[in-house]
Amino acid sequence: MDLFNRTTAGGTSPAGEKPARAPRRKAAKAPRAAAAATPIEEAAPTAAGLPAEAAPIEAAPAEAIEPAAAGPPARPAIARRRETAESIGKRQRDISVAEFFQKNRHLLGFDNPAKALLTATKEAVDNSLDACEEAGILPDLDIVIDEKAEDRFRLVITDNGPGIVRTQIPRVFGKLLYGSKFHTMRQSRGQQGIGISAAGMYSQLTTGQPVKITSRTGAKKPAHYFEIQIDTTRNEPKVLVDREVEWDRDHGTRVEMELAGLYKKGRRSVDDYIVQTALANPHAAVRYQPPKGDEYHRDRITSELPREPLVIKPHPYGVELGVLISMLRETKGRSLSSALQADFARVSERVAVGICKTAGLRPETRPKALGVQEIEALFRAIPKVKIMAPPTNCIVPIGDELLLVGLKETVKAEFYTSITRPPSVYRGNPFQIEVGLAYGGELPADELVDLWRFANRVPLQYQQSGCAIARAALTTDWRKYGLQQSKGALPAAPMVLFVHMVSVWVPFTSESKEAVAAYPEIIRELRLGLQEVGRRLGGFLRHRRRLAEEDKKKSYIKSYIPHIGIALREILGLTKQDEAKVVEVLTETLERSRTL
Ligand SMILES: Nc1ncnc2c1ncn2[C@@H]1O[C@H](COP(=O)(O)OP(=O)(O)OP(=O)(O)O)[C@@H](O)[C@H]1O
Ligand SMILES: [Mg+2]
């Protein structure tokens, strides 16, 4: 009704007030009356008698009046301020990546307080583990979360890694898209160069506090202490404090930040994340002091560092046209053939010449002289030439044995199994899948299976429904292996399912790195892994059922043995002693078969 009054009064009368002048009231009524009879043609003559200020309605064509006739009357046109290309042009400018992610912090996993606390912890822990492994150091991690208020926490993560050189500290923590991992094709937890600076930006946004860093690169070097904020409009660090300090560690990094958050227990909690991180990193010692409750401490299971993941070149089958264009613009190769051999994996001279010929190009052509159309011809020729799959020794899984030890230590169950699939390739990127499961024991019987997803040894806690790992688990037919499963759901069983993907480049569905994209090759490998552990579980469950049935039969027979003894004594006239002997022999025979 308010809306009606305002529109009919030409936008001048406040809501609920009566229109000031009679002609306006008339104007308001006209269309309503028209709507009651047969509309527009009849309404037109009424409208024709309106004063000049209502003229737009009168002059409007029939189609324009129609909606007004059905509901509230049409509003007189209000002059719009028009933009010009020049006025819009004045507002067009660079967008700082920091400003972009500040507005879109949900893309980085900071969309709610509980998740924000987890994401910040995860970014710092991932970096510490990556740094230790790159430097060949067995990681000692120390994670402390203090509750400053119900919705505010202090997070401190300390590692024994190689440390960070003083000049790099401001940009590592105070600039988004700055890191050492983005440009190399190597298996690591970090990929993008956003993680820790985004956590710092969230801390600054929610508490106004800087990130505090202490880092030392060696016993003979001083430790440096920094307090850093991000200038979001420029995506540049602001150094508030930079000084040398005493530190009891020879080398390593300590990151401290205060942030708005929510601490909770249970699934997708920081506690769960820490336990699962320890499981996927058997070579790390992990100490964790949560804001509430007992300290968690897990010693390393193995003192052997994982094999060093190798850096590889991109495989031609995975390259995109735009990337190929810039590679050929920047190559150091003098001829097209030598550029292809130098910049790609698995391209021998024979393969390079084959690609050039298929594209109708001369192998000796200077790559920088190629036009876009020629490069496109090259791009189209690549899939037509047989090229060996990329090397797979560059990826390092946990290994089924260590995975089994970890599972046994983490989950109290009855049956455990694990499998590491052979390496495979998606879009030219090598990857490998590992699957483990723990069944029975103390695990809750009436719930859906607990699916633990991992990528490059990092637990993935959110966006399960959008993840290839979940999709593969849901579409596996677990009923074949003796479990109950509703259509489109995980099976209901006392079971933890561990699924891990390692790759030189994990195809995450977003920057927050929570779900793996469903490339067909990845789904296929996941299914094969899940089916294998499923078959083993099926075998165990069948065997257990057989034993249970046998036990039932035997106890049934056992209850009859005394009666058989009595009956034989009576029929055959045996002595009490003979009867006892018969009972003894029969019981012994039954027991003997039980141990078979
Ligand atoms: N604890 C640490 N010890 C040593 N170097 C570190 C540490 N934390 C961060 N770095 C360095 O800082 C860089 C930036 O870290 P950041 O988390 O922002 O990005 P990233 O780990 O490369 O990628 P991602 O955004 O996927 O996490 C890293 O690439 C690494 O070189
Ligand atoms: Mg990182």
Secondary structure of 385-442 as H, E, C letters: CCCCCCCCCCCCCCCHHHHHHHHHHHCCCCEEEEEECCCEEECCEEEEEEEEEEECCC
Question: Cα–Cα distance between 446 and 185 in angstroms, integer?
Answer: 43
Cα dihedral 436, 441, 442, 447 sign = positive
Interval between CA 3 and ligand 2 midpoint (Å): 53
Question: Atom of ligand 1 at shortest distance to CA of 513?
Answer: 26
For residue 288, the model assigns a pLDDT of: 98
Give the burial class of 560: count Cβ atoms within 10 A of its Cβ; 0-12 exposed, 13-18 middle, 19 or more buried: exposed
For residue 42, the model assigns a pLDDT of: 34
CB proximity list for 237: less than 8 A, separation 6 or greater? 170, 171, 173, 174, 175, 228, 229, 230, 231
What separation, in Å, do the N-terminal and C-terminal C-alpha atoms of the chain show? Answer: 87
Q: Within 13 Å, how many C-alpha atoms sit on residue 1's CB side?
A: 3
SS3 breakdown of the chain: % helix, strand, coil, rounded to 5? 45, 20, 40
For residue 590, the model assigns a pLDDT of: 85
Question: Atom of ligand 1 at shortest distance to CA of 194?
Answer: 25
For residue 594, the model assigns a pLDDT of: 53
Mean pLDDT of 485-494: 95
Q: Which residue has the higher pLDDT, 88 or 58?
A: 88
Question: Cα–Cα distance between 567 and 563 in angstroms, integer?
Answer: 6
- Strand pairing class (152-159; 140-149): antiparallel
Interval between CA 253 and ligand 1 midpoint (Å): 11
Question: Cα–Cα distance between 207 and 228 in angstroms, integer?
Answer: 14
Question: Cα–Cα distance between 140 and 300 in angstroms, integer?
Answer: 9
Counting ligands in written order, the one closest to the CA of 129 is: 1
Band of residue 62 on the pLDDT scale cut at 50, 70, 90: very low
Question: Atom of ligand 1 at shortest distance to CA of 252?
Answer: 3
Among 8-17, 39-48, 372-381, 587-596, the range of highest mean pLDDT: 372-381
DSSP string, 497-555: EEEEEEESS--BSSTT--SB---HHHHHHHHHHHHHHHHHHHHHHHHHHHHHHHHHHHH
The answer to whether the beta carbons of residues 336 and 355 sit under 8 Å apart is: no
Band of residue 41 on the pLDDT scale cut at 50, 70, 90: very low
H helix or E strand, kind and range, residue 472: helix 468-474
Q: Give percent of the chain above pLDDT 70.
A: 86
Band of residue 393 on the pLDDT scale cut at 50, 70, 90: confident
Interval between CA 104 and ligand 1 midpoint (Å): 21
Cα torsion at 394, 400, 406, 408 (round to 10°)? 170
3-class SS of residue 224:
strand
Band of residue 472 on the pLDDT scale cut at 50, 70, 90: very high
Average pLDDT, the chain: 87
The answer to whether the beta carbons of residues 504 and 185 sit under 8 Å apart is: yes
For residue 17, the model assigns a pLDDT of: 37
Mean pLDDT of 521-534: 98
Q: SS3 letters for 142-207?
A: EEEEEEEECCEEEEEEEECCCCCCHHHHHHHHHCCCCCCCCCCECCCCCCCCCHHHHHHHHHHHHH
Question: Cα–Cα distance between 549 and 535 in angstroms, integer?
Answer: 21
Counting ligands in written order, the one closest to the CA of 186 is: 1
Interval between CA 183 and ligand 1 midpoint (Å): 13
Question: Atom of ligand 1 at shortest distance to CA of 176?
Answer: 18
Residue with tokens 């509980």: 114
For residue 554, the model assigns a pLDDT of: 85
Interval between CA 127 and ligand 2 midpoint (Å): 5
Q: Give this prediction's pTM.
A: 0.79
For residue 76, the model assigns a pLDDT of: 66
Mean pLDDT of 74-96: 85
How far from 133 is each of 139, 196, 502, CA to CA, in Å?
A: 7, 18, 15
Best of 110, 127, 132, 156 to mutate for ligand 1, by most ligand atoms within 8 A of CB? Answer: 127
Question: Cα–Cα distance between 596 and 585 in angstroms, integer?
Answer: 17
Whether pLDDT at 13 is above 60: no
Interval between CA 82 and ligand 1 midpoint (Å): 47
- Pocket residues for ligand 1 (CB within 6 Å)? 123, 126-128, 131, 159, 161, 164, 172, 179-181, 190-197, 253
